[in-house]
Every structure is written in C-alpha cells, then in structure tokens.
A = this chain, B = another copy of it.
Amino acid sequence: MNDFSHLDETGKVSMVDVTDKMPTCREALAEGAVFLAPETLAAIQDAALPKGDVLTTAKIAGVMAAKRTAELIPMCHPLNISFVDVRFSLQNDRILISATAKTREATGVEMEALTAVSVAALTIYDMCKSADKTMRISDIRLVRKTGGKSSHKTTYR
C-alpha cells in the first residue's frame, strides 16, 4: 500500500474509484502570482490603460479552464462545478491571483481551483509578454479545502 491515491498496488497510474463516495458540498481555494516588471504593473494600474481588459480576460480564461480540468489532468474525475471565481490583487511586484471552486459532487475541487489560477496566470503572461520579458509565474498552491470525507476543513501550510 502507498500514499499515492492515483497509483494502484503495482505502482501503475490509476484513477481513484469514487463510485461509493458521498456527494457533499466541497470547496477549494488556490492562489498564485505573476511577477512583473514595475513598469508593466504601473501600466496595468494606470487608469489610462486597459487594466480591466487584461484582468477580465484572465478571469474568463481561468473560469473556462476550471470547467475543463478533467480534460487536462489525466486522472481527474469529471465533475460539474457549481461555482468558480478568480480574483486579482495588484501588489508591488506581482499580481496575486486567487481562485475559489465549489461542487456538490463526490470528489474535491482542488485541481479545478489550481487550474483556474494557472490558466489565469498564463493569460496575464500572454497579454503582457510583448511589453515585459521578465515575467514569472510562481507560488501556485492550495490554500484551503473544505468538505469531503468528514466535511472537515484543511488549511494548507
């Protein structure tokens, strides 16, 4: 026996069987950041510049990607998310991205929240890459997860 739920007893990759898991209300919060040059951030913050469009585009991309997580991550179960949201916070040297995903199905939505953050970050990268050659996407991680086994709440680090 091992701790890797996606590997069977012989070590082969394998989907977890969730047929007998209870559908409960599940929620996950993930975060990440895109580090940018100060001038890029200033331009995005500048009212004269289309901040809304960069971040709105990134938000929509993150939401749409979250809905297709199971197409991207091989062993993820398909599930119908009941809510996903992506929010941004502009800081000194980075754009913080946080994504919340919810479902009422039998598997957690960590990967959905993490996928929303990742694709929103990639979209910011794409939108700004002609202006900034120093960007870096970092610190993508799960922050909190509720629901599941015992409707418990797990806080990550």
Are B13 and A83 interface neighbours, CB within 8 A? no
Are A114 and B122 interface neighbours, CB within 8 A? yes
What size tier do the contact residues of chain A reach?
Answer: 35 or more
The count of identical subunits is: 6
| A126 in complex: contacting residue of B6, B27, B78, CB < 8 Å | B6
Contact with B along A87-121 (1 / 0, CB 8 A): 00000000000000011111000110011001101
Q: A2-B49, A60-B74 are in contact. Are A84 and B128 (CB under 8 A)?
A: no
**Can you list 21 contacts pairing A with B, beta carbon distance less than 8 Å?**
A2-B49, A4-B131, A5-B130, A7-B53, A13-B50, A15-B85, A17-B102, A20-B25, A60-B61, A61-B72, A67-B71, A68-B71, A75-B126, A78-B81, A82-B106, A104-B106, A114-B137, A129-B142, A136-B141, A137-B139, A138-B140
